[in-house]
Each structure stands twice: as structure tokens, then as C-alpha cells.
């Protein structure tokens, strides 16, 4: 068995040599960043692998953040009709989110993650030491997904977040996602609860022209969706206050009507109704349809 370690140039610089030596792998890398997550990058790496004689008995080791895991995972899914995959997430977000659940893929000019496959790794290696070199904004991106996992399915994780160690935070967030994914491997229903904060969050990313990081946008999305849930009669005042304490919704100045227009263009709309994964209380979620004309108003008031 030959192993090919795929990573981006930032992670290659920090950890490439050490891991190639340890795993007796050959290194393949591409420029870091979301714009590299394309079919073109995948194709270039595939050609390199084939030229070097890699074939059916290859193990692909994906070392990096979500960009590397998604791209290398998709590559492993199609290389010689599928070869073994090992994931070594190096960002907090990748540890708790991108590495879990089997979704792989790349972006196209028409949108993000539109081409891909469900493909599960043989092994996932989580090592907290990677966090020591991770820039603070990337820590926040992952932290938001951990808090989101708490909101969805582990009340204590959300409420006692500050008292837990990184190891506990990560383990518990993974446990929540695992539990949900296990009920819905191919994202036909239940798995949509993972979208808490993301329906509004994605719209905010778009409206801000991607000036907001994913974590910033989802944090605001969680707060604004909590208001919608409250307005629909689900979330109590107490839980809403608890959420707004952690994610202040007013820390931004985007026009909420524009945000609704963007959500309208999204695929979550049917017969004038927008579908949300809304919190019923901290620790549980329901899939709810909200009439379009009520959405902006609900986000404004509380
Ligand atoms: N497959 C899924 O289920 C899933 C879930 C969530 C997100 N995603 C995808 O994940 C991607 C975002 O992932 P991300 O936030 O990890 O971004 P990323 O992979 O771009 O990593 C962020 C930055 O951190 C650098 N980096 C990585 N590890 C480092 C380390 N240990 N020390 C220092 N720098 C390091 C990277 O080079 C990059 O510049 C998106 O493309 C998103 O679509 C996928
Ligand atoms: Zn997210």
C-alpha cells in the first residue's frame, strides 16, 4: 500500500515533512483557501498521482482544514473508483464538523459544494496540538460550530462551554453530529437540523460579500433565527436571552429585507414559506416553515 498525503501549502509548511516521514507518505499540496476547492485542483492532483504510479491500493491521507478534507475526500471517492481515506483535521472546524458525516466535494462557479459524494473515511485522527498554530479567527469559526452542536443536542455543552476543556468540547460536539448523521446518512431529513443558524448565516455571508467569516455569519444567524423561533412561539424568553448573551444579534448593520431576499433565492423555500431548523429550546430542534412575509419582522423584534 502506498500512501499519498494531500494538504494545502500552509499546513504543508507547518506539518508536511513530519507527517510524511511518520506515515511514509508522499506529499501533494495546493494553495490554501476556499478558492482552491475546485474540480481543477482535484484534477491536477489526480494527474500527479497517476503520473507517479499511484493506483487501486493507494491510501489517501487528508491533512488540513475543511477545504483539504472536502477536496481530498472527494478525490479518494473517485480515484480508481474509490480508495482508502484517512482524515487528519487540523482546524477546529474540521475536527468537529468537516471530518464528521461523510460529505465531500468541491465548489463550482455556480455555487459551493455542488459537486461531490458521500464517502466515509477508514479512520479519523484528532490531535489537539494542531490548535496551537491555528489563528484566533479560525478558533472562533470552530467554536461557533461547537456551540451550535450544543444548541442542537447537548444543552450542557452550550451552557457550561467555558468550564469544559477543549478535549471535552470537541468530543461532545462530534458526538452530537455523529448521532444526527447516523439517523440520516444521506441527508434526506433529520440531518437538516444541523443547519441551525446557517439559513440566515449563509444569507449574511452572501450579503456581506464574504467579508464576514463563516463563524461570524453563523453566530449572527443563530441569534436572528432564535428571534424567529421566539416569534413563532417556540423558544422561551429565558433561552433567547441565554443565546443573545453569547451571540449578540445587533453586532451588524445589514439590511434584513435584503437578507430575506437572499434566503428567498435559496432552495429552502416552498409556496411562500421559508423552511428553518429552529430551536425549540436549548438542546432541541424542529424543522419549521415560516411565512416569508413574517421572517424579516421576526428577526427585528424580540
Ligand atoms: N464536509 C462537511 O461536512 C463540511 C462541514 C463544514 C464545513 N465544510 C467545509 O470546510 C471548509 C472550511 O474549513 P476550514 O474552516 O477548516 O477552512 P480551511 O480549510 O480553509 O482552513 C482555514 C485556514 O487555516 C489554515 N490551517 C489549517 N490548519 C492549520 C493549523 N493547524 N495551523 C495553522 N493554520 C492552519 C489553512 O491553511 C487555511 O488557511 C469549507 O469549504 C466548508 O464548505 C465541510
Ligand atoms: Zn457551518
What does the pLDDT look like over 66-113, one tens digit per residue?
999 999 999 999 999 999 999 999 999 999 999 999 999 999 999 999
Contact 59, 86 (CB under 8 A): yes
Query: What pLDDT, on a 0 to 100 scale, did the predictor assign at position 302?
Result: 53
107 Cβ below 6 A of ligand 1: no
Whole-number Å distance, alpha carbon 212 to ligand 2 midpoint, is 13
- Residue 198 annotated among the catalytic residues of the structure: yes
Q: Where are the alpha helices (DSSP H) in the chain?
A: 9-11, 17-23, 39-51, 66-78, 92-93, 136-153, 155-159, 166-183, 198-207, 214-231, 237-246, 256-265, 292-300
Query: What pLDDT, on a 0 to 100 scale, did the predictor assign at position 251?
Result: 63
- Residue 103 annotated among the catalytic residues of the structure: yes
Atom of ligand 1 nearest to the CA of 105: 1
Q: What is the mean pLDDT of the chain?
A: 94
| Residue in 233, 232, 217, 212 with CA at minimum distance from that of residue 274 | 232
Query: What pLDDT, on a 0 to 100 scale, did the predictor assign at position 272?
Result: 84
Ligand 1, atom 10, lies closest to the CA of 66
133 Cβ below 6 A of ligand 1: yes
Residue of 6, 66, 107 with the most ligand 1 atoms within 8 Å of its CB, for mutation: 66
Query: What pLDDT, on a 0 to 100 scale, did the predictor assign at position 185?
Result: 84
Ligand 1, atom 41, lies closest to the CA of 67
Which residues in the chain show pLDDT less than 50?
none
Query: What pLDDT, on a 0 to 100 scale, did the predictor assign at position 250?
Result: 63
Placement of cell 500512501 in the chain = 3
14 Cβ below 6 A of ligand 1: yes
Residue of 98, 112, 170, 173 with the most ligand 1 atoms within 8 Å of its CB, for mutation: 98
Ligand (nearest to CA of 103): 1
Amino acid at each position: 500500500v502506498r500512501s499519498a498525503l494531500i494538504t494545502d501549502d500552509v499546513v504543508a509548511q507547518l506539518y508536511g515533512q513530519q507527517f510524511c516521514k511518520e506515515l511514509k507518505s508522499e506529499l501533494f499540496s495546493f494553495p490554501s483557501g476556499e478558492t482552491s476547492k475546485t474540480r481543477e485542483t482535484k484534477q491536477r492532483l489526480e494527474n500527479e498521482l497517476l503520473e507517479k504510479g499511484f493506483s487501486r491500493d493507494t491510501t489517501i491521507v487528508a491533512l488540513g482544514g475543511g477545504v483539504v478534507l472536502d477536496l481530498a475526500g472527494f478525490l479518494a471517492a473517485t480515484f480508481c473508483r474509490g480508495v482508502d481515506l484517512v482524515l487528519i483535521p487540523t482546524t477546529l472546524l474540521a475536527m468537529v464538523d468537516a471530518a464528521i458525516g461523510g460529505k465531500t466535494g468541491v465548489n463550482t462557479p455556480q455555487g459551493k459544494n455542488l459537486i461531490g459524494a458521500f464517502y466515509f473515511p477508514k479512520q479519523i485522527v484528532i490531535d489537539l496540538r494542531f490548535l496551537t498554530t491555528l489563528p484566533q479567527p479560525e478558533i472562533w469559526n470552530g467554536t461557533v460550530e461547537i456551540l451550535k452542536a450544543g444548541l442542537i443536542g447537548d444543552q450542557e455543552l452550550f451552557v457550561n462551554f467555558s468550564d469544559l476543556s477543549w478535549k471535552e468540547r470537541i468530543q461532545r460536539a462530534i458526538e452530537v453530529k455523529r448521532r444526527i448523521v447516523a439517523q440520516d446518512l444521506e441527508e434526506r431529513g433529520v440531518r437538516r437540523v444541523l443547519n441551525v443558524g446557517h439559513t440566515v448565516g449563509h444569507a449574511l455571508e452572501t450579503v456581506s460579500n464574504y467579508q464576514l467569516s463563516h463563524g461570524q455569519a453563523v453566530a449572527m444567524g443563530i441569534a436572528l433565527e432564535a428571534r424567529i423561533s421566539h416569534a413563532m412561539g417556540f423558544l422561551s424568553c429565558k433561552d433567547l436571552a441565554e443565546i443573545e448573551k453569547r451571540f449578540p444579534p445587533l453586532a451588524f448593520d445589514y439590511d434584513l429585507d435584503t437578507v430575506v431576499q437572499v434566503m428567498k433565492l435559496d432552495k429552502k423555500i416552498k409556496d411562500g414559506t421559508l423552511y428553518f431548523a429552529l430551536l425549540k429550546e436549548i438542546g432541541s430542534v424542529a424543522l419549521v416553515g415560516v411565512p416569508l412575509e413574517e421572517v424579516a419582522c421576526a428577526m427585528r423584534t424580540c
